[in-house]
Amino acid sequence: MFRIVRWIVVLFLFLLLASAAEASSLRDSGNSTKDSISHPQEIEASQILTEIEANQAVSYDNVSVSGNLDLSTLTGPVRQSVTITNSIILGPANFERVTFGDLMDFQGTTFKGNASFAKARFQGDANFGGVRFSGNTDFRFARFDSAVSFSLARFEGVVSFANSQFDGNAVFEGSNFDTDAKFDLVQFSRPVTFMGAVFSGDASITNSQFSGTTIFMDSSFKGDADFAGTQFVRDVIFRSSHFYGGSSFGLAGFGGFADFANVTFENAAFFAVAKFDDNAHFLDAKFNKDLVLESARIYNMQLDNATFGKNSTISLKDADFTRLVVPWSTIRDRLEFNGAAYLALVKNYKNLEWFNDADDCYYEYRQISQANEPLGWAKLADVIAWLSCGYGVRVSYTAFWCIFTPLFFGVVFWAGNGMKGFEQIGQRIPGRTKGIQKQRVSLIDAMYFSVAQFNSAQGPVNRYPVGFYRHLAMLEIILGWFFMMLFVVILVGILIR
């Protein structure tokens, strides 16, 4: 019995010592891993260059590269894959004119110095996701034959992709550009996304071409954004983006659907000479300053529920639009006067069957034109057209004159004692003048006579104007013909449309 107990105690002590040793081993391993993460392995840039020259695949993770990483001296292309992820490149990096024939992967790596990929060519996929460029970055004249990702990348210095070419899908989703970003004369052959990108400096994307679907949804442009001359061959989506600085789309072309819904323009939105070949949606867009559409060519633009700042103006000078969906009440006090633009809007509203908007737009056009006319017969004719029928679009004006004119003349005839009536005495035969005396007519009789004159109807035979009032009666007949015909013409015009 004692022997059994002794063996049990020995076995227990053995297990206890084994557990302690294992715990110590795990703790040492954890400390080693922690030290490895906080203090990445340091390698020389020359080591990477040596591996590339030996045609060996470069694969590093969580390392610190010291020295000048310069591959521009290579005499031939890099045919093997190059992977340097989650690392730090301390010195400047020069990949100018280098051709990468396989995968290039720098995901999560930080470039502390300037980085140049100018005129480099990426024949395989290129991954710059989560990369941080602390210095200036140069991708001018670079060519990406396959897919490339700059997702969540951060450019702390000036970055330029000028004259570069993207033949595969390009992803800049969630990228941050802390200073100026230049994408001038860039060719995007496939879909590209800048969704959620933040441009803290000026963004210059001029004279570029986006051949695939382009997405700038939820992007933020804190500096000036210049898209002048850029061509969007297919759909482009700017929905819910925010332009804090000036935004210029002058001479830009939109071949597909252009979505600017819920976009905020804090400064002037410049679309002069832009061309919209398909639908352009600016639903719920906010224009806190001017909207310039001078000489733009618009197929169908919708500005439903768009809002404008207190002093915002809209310029449609020389604009050519087939369909512009925006209520007249939204733009009436902001539209810069241009006769052709106003008349084009009138036609546009008629095509939309918004006849009240068409009438209101035409009325204001005539009002402004009349105010700008010099004194003369033309101005007098405009004043008459305004007062009589509201330039042909206010039937209520003519209806007013049709009611007011006979009432006015009736009062004048009565108050001025300009009418006389005959009253027969006794049983004398009607029509004989002997024994008939004249008396002043009542107001009701004067009104009756005036209405009959206005309608060119036969007035009462025993009531007649005298003296000067005979000329007023003739004038009332002329005015009656004029206003009645005018009323019928305008009313028919309203009914048949």
Per-domain boundaries in the chain: 61-369, 395-496
Q: What CA–CA distance (Å, rounded) separates 442 from 185? A: 88
Q: Give DSSP secondary structure letters for 306-322.
A: -EE-TT--EE-TT-EEE
The set of residues, in sequence order, having a beta carbon less than 8 Å from that of 240 and lying 6+ positions away, is 217, 218, 261, 262, 263
Residue 234 Ramachandran class (φ > 0 left, ψ -120 to 50 alpha, else beta): beta
pLDDT in tens, the chain (497 residues): 445 545 454 454 444 445 544 544 445 544 444 444 456 899 999 999 999 998 999 999 999 999 999 999 888 899 999 999 999 999 999 999 999 999 999 999 999 999 999 999 999 999 999 999 999 999 999 999 999 999 999 999 999 999 999 999 999 999 999 999 999 999 999 999 999 999 999 999 999 999 999 999 999 999 999 999 999 999 999 999 999 999 999 999 999 999 999 999 999 999 999 999 999 999 999 999 999 999 999 999 999 899 999 999 999 999 999 999 999 999 988 999 888 999 999 999 999 999 999 999 999 999 988 888 888 888 888 888 888 888 888 888 988 998 999 999 989 988 888 777 665 444 444 444 444 445 677 888 888 888 888 887 666 656 778 788 888 888 888 898 898 888 888 877 777 76
Residue 164 phi/psi, 5° resolution?
-80, 165
- 108-123: per-residue pLDDT in tens? 999 999 999 999 999 9
Residue 76 phi/psi, 5° resolution?
-135, 180
Evaluate whether the domain defined by 395-496 bears CATH number 1.10.287. yes
Task: Give the per-residue pLDDT at 29.
Answer: 47
Count of Cβ atoms closer than 10 Å to residue 260 Cβ: 28
Supply the DSSP symbol for 457: P
Task: Give the per-residue pLDDT at 2.
Answer: 46
User: Within 13 Å and on the Cβ side, how many CA atoms surround 397?
Assistant: 15
| Residues 349, 357 contacting (CB under 8 angstroms) | yes
Q: Give DSSP secondary structure letters for 35-74.
A: HHHHSPEEEEHHHHHHHHHTTPPEEEESEEEES-EE-TT-
